Amino acid sequence: MNKVLFWLLLLVLSPMAVIIVITPMDSQKQYIFGLISIAILFLLGLSKNQKISLVMVILSALMSTRYIWWRATETLHFNSEIEAILGIGLFIAELYVWLILILGFLQTTWPLKRTIEPLPDDINLWPTVDIYVPTYNESLDVVRDTVLAAQCIDYPGNKLKIYVLDDGKRSEFAVFAADAGVGYITRNDNQHAKAGNLNHAMKLTQGELICIFDCDHVATRAFLQATVGPFLKDPKLALIQTPHHFYSPDPFERNLRAARHIPNEGALFYGPVQQGNDNWNATFFCGSCAVIRRSALDEIGGFAVETVTEDAHTALKLQRRGWGSAFLAIPLAAGLATERLGLHVIQRTRWARGMTQIFRLDNPLLGRGLKWQQRLCYLNAMLHFQFGLPRVIFLTAPLAYLLFNLNIVHSSAALIFAYVLPHLVMSLHVNSRMNGRFRYTFWGEIYETVMAFHLVMPTLMALLSPKHGKFNVTDKGGLLDVGFFDFNIVRPHIITVILLCIGIVAGLVRALAHNYFNVDPYVIALNIGWALFSLIILMAAIAVARETRQVRKTIRIDVEIPVIIHYASGISSRSTTSDLSMGGAQIIAPDQRHSSDEIEEIDLLLNSGAITIPASIVTADDHIIRLKFKEIPLSRRRELVRVVLARADAWIQPMYPKDKPLYSLLTIVRTVFELFWLTWKARRDKRKSPVEEQQEDHAA
């Protein structure tokens, strides 16, 4: 009955929607209509009701569609071929953004918020699980703790087997696997990269379920008990994916102060997007932190090898065969984020190329087996990675008028603003309401701008020749002794900034003498405003390239655990940790004994017992003692992993505050200011003489 009412309501309201979209208005009437629409939207926003959110989404979609209709029917008139080429290019870019906006609304408006499905009390009913840890060129320091954390997972030992899949064929990995008591699998070639590695392991193992962790992803003890239950309840469930949580800062968080206090780049995808996909049975497999049914993989011939994004392609193949997928939005494992902006660009370029390959080789809009909602969810994911060229167009479009006096939008400034204002304000407000705890307003522009220039050629090449290109492994666990500015990554951004500055100056000159140049000052003002916004976003993107030092080999995590400090004199004291890492600890000083009595070891007091770890002081003051752990045996390190990285609640974090769009824009402006301030400060410090530095250090 509800479906009948829905379609009846849709039939009745469709003519009204068409009238809203296509009715032409002059600038004054459009201003009034737009402002009334914005006011209605803000009034509706006072309610937190989900149905009201749906109404707001519809209103925003209608206003954005009205803008695109106006652009298509009223503004595509040009005086020259170059204006036509640039103007149509801009319109296609806007059409792309409109499509992504509509598809995004489809994905995120109905999120499915799953809870943990408990396992049956009878352990005999639990399925057998093989845990795969694929590795190629990563160091043993990175892989070791992933394997030890997997051994800490609370699951019956006779039903769990762990395998290191070493495509690097390294003897030290084989020795470690033997010492740790886990399986070791290698092969003669590296055909099909990670997908080939996983498929080879499938031939040598028998577990009913396969759990995959990238070699830097450490699992919590509760991982399998939180993810295996749904497979018993639903025999057609093929995949359950959990978020990729990172316990080390990504380049944005490390290099931008403001980014440390906002949701990270992946929060939107591993929140509303994947939950929305889950509602339509379109959850993406993300290559790690997931459990997959072996029989489902056997049915599709194993992990997909046709593209460099074997994960998403594998999920698509499973869903084409009618298998189910699920997403559990609880961080049950954590890994290392890309340490350098350059590595971040390489990783995202691979993702973009892979999703473009799928679009060409196994287009979700074509073929059998998918519902229309699944097709659109995949289409959005694949089109998303085409943002490179549209983003470059948006950043540089005002230069056409400011530098070359080319009119690429055939309309008055007043009418353009009248149509653009409600479109932008309403879409920003609705997205902030729907996803504001996962992506702050305007920060998506920075994330995309950093990547935009680097994605244009790879995505175009993948569209033209999808079978070219190879799988690139993202390096993890590196250190950086000295900070530097990665000029190579942001060279095109800097060139664009210079051009925009020249354009703004030229625009100001023409505006001041508009009678002489015979130009409309309002058109110039509109283009200067557009250029200034592009300039702010570009400068914030450039600021990410200011790489800060990364000297910690292991990441410290805030955790309070009782400890006993053992001194060389034989005296012991009780205290508490303030943070822990796999390489050391920070302890609250119980007294001043550490200033005269050497610390030899500490006991971490756990519910399961005490762990004794030899340690030495790195630095200390009256309140804090910073310790470095000495070499410890594997069994003891496993217990340390259990304490530091594998706690069931290790990665559960409070929600971020609600997004405030204007405040978010101010933080971006502050980021641009900090780029100049920190650059000037670094140069000043570099010019100081050694004597001045010694004097400052002595004063400090």
In the predicted model, residues of the chain with pLDDT beneath 50 are 1, 689, 691, 693, 695-700
Q: So what's the pLDDT on residue 465?
A: 87
Among the listed residues 311, 362, 486, 579, the single catalytic one is: 311
Would you call 311 a catalytic residue per the annotation? yes
Other beta carbons less than 10 A from residue 472's beta carbon: 14
For 186-199, the pLDDT digits (tens) are: 999 989 999 999 99
Sign of CA dihedral 13, 16, 21, 22: positive
Q: How far apart are CA 40 and CA 322, in angstroms?
A: 42
Residues constituting the chain: 700
Among the listed residues 167, 250, 278, 362, the single catalytic one is: 167
Would you call 167 a catalytic residue per the annotation? yes
Other beta carbons less than 10 A from residue 510's beta carbon: 21
Which residue reads 């074997």 in tokens?
310
**Is residue 599 helix, strand or coil?**
strand
Helix (H) or strand (E) holding 258: none
Q: So what's the pLDDT on residue 551?
A: 52
Q: So what's the pLDDT on residue 688?
A: 60
Q: Are the CB atoms for 578 and 609 separated by under 8 Å?
A: no
Q: So what's the pLDDT on residue 698?
A: 41
DSSP states of 237-289 as a string? Answer: EEEEE---EESS--HHHHH-TGGGGS--TTTTIIIIIHHHHHHTT-PPP-SSS
- Token pair, residue 538, equals 């570009």
Cα-only R_g, the chain: 28
Q: At CA 501, angle to CA 387 and CA 400, rounded to 5?
A: 60
Q: So what's the pLDDT on residue 471?
A: 58
- State the DSSP code for 303: S
Alpha helix segments (H runs only) across 436-512? 443-464, 487-512
* Helix-then-strand count for the chain, H and E: 25, 18
Q: So what's the pLDDT on residue 699?
A: 39
**Is residue 196 helix, strand or coil?**
helix
Q: So what's the pLDDT on residue 607?
A: 75
Q: So what's the pLDDT on residue 230?
A: 97
Q: Are the CB atoms for 582 and 294 separated by under 8 Å?
A: no
For 99-158, the pLDDT digits (tens) are: 999 999 999 999 999 999 999 999 999 999 999 999 998 999 889 999 999 999 999 999
Q: So what's the pLDDT on residue 552?
A: 54
Q: So what's the pLDDT on residue 327?
A: 98
Which residue reads 């971490």 in tokens?
604
